[in-house]
Amino acid sequence: MVVMSHPVALDHCSLIKTCKPTSVFTGIPVIDLRDPKAKTLIVKACEEYGFFKLVNHGVPMEFMTRLEAEALRFFNLPQSEKDKAGPPDPFGYGSKRIGSNGDVGWIEYLLLNTNPQVTSLRTLTVFRENPEIFRSAVNDYILAVKRMAFEVLELMADGLKIEPRNVLSRLLRDEKSDSCFRLNHYPPCPELQALSGRNLIGFGEHTDPQIISVLRSNNTSGLQICLRDGTWVAVPPDQTSFFINVGDALQVMTNGRLRSVWHRVLADSLKSRVSMIYFGGPPLSEKIAPLASLIARGEESLYKEFTWREYKTSAYKSRLADYRLGAFEKTASAGQ
């Protein structure tokens, strides 16, 4: 559903980049999770695009709409109330600033930990208003999406012919999995659109560092992906489906066979966009390296081995648009 939100103060706008709208891409792979050919289609989509739309996924629509309503209830609170849940530590409420290295966007967000063993004071503040309702909506949604993500990764392993089939999903199932959940709100901004005829960047171009990202949004457009030829295209929204992104860690584990997708979000001039993303990451101590079974005879590993903690630390020191994997490629070290 689309909800008109309260106006947001235009601070930092001079720092936020703009972008011309791009053409809508109708070639996004659509995969039915119950299709007997799903394992093959998932691998093909991740090789060609690093991205696909998932339908017949088994997550109740009620979970999506209930969480969206609760998220909007929070984002429509007075700014002074929202600010009590921030600044992010990294969990909690943030506005305009993305990370600590100068990236900004036309966005406000909530970042939540999916590991119940880790408690953030900021997160507790988020749930202060309607604790039972909001927390329940978040927990129900995350539990259902996790189940679906595990199944996607196991089908992917089947399609890649790697064993055991839980070699990827076990990293997310692990009780120490370093996964997180993000609720993004991109308010409408008619004032700036009228001045420039361009769209404000809501979230700048980047790849996701984790293994897999599971995105669901309302029916407001804005998501764009970069195709292999460098062309940016708009992804048609679909509030009933999920979009799956290959992350950097999965690119490394498949030795570049599956590639993380560059993507960004543009703000709309009239309608707010609400998105919810589960980022499935491995435990911090997990060693990330190409799986031996995916390195063909005579082929070499393209990446140095590293722990997820090392990569995450490096990624958080970088700007959004930086090619974060560059420092972990073997060719990079050979040329220095």
Q: Which residues are catalytic?
A: 273
**Residue whose tokens read 């996701």:** 208
CB burial class (10 A; 0-12, 13-18, 19+) of residue 240?
Answer: exposed
Pick from 265, 322, 260, 261: which is nearest to 288 by CA?
Answer: 260
Where helices occur in the chain by DSSP H, the ranges are 38-48, 61-75, 79-82, 121-126, 131-160, 169-173, 190-196, 248-253, 308-316, 330-334
User: Taking a C-beta distance cutoff of 8 angstroms, is the pair 244, 310 a contact?
Assistant: no
Q: Distance (Å, rounded) from C-alpha 96 to C-alpha 73?
A: 19
Provide the strand spans (E) within the chain: 18-19, 30-32, 51-55, 92-98, 103-113, 180-186, 199-206, 212-217, 223-226, 232-234, 242-246, 263-266, 273-280, 287-288, 306-307
User: Taking a C-beta distance cutoff of 8 angstroms, is the pair 222, 39 a contact?
Assistant: no
Structure tokens at 278: 């589960």
Q: Distance (Å, rounded) from C-alpha 12 to C-alpha 192?
A: 12
What is the amino acid identity at position 18? T
3-state DSSP assignment of residue 138:
helix
**Residue whose tokens read 């991740």:** 46
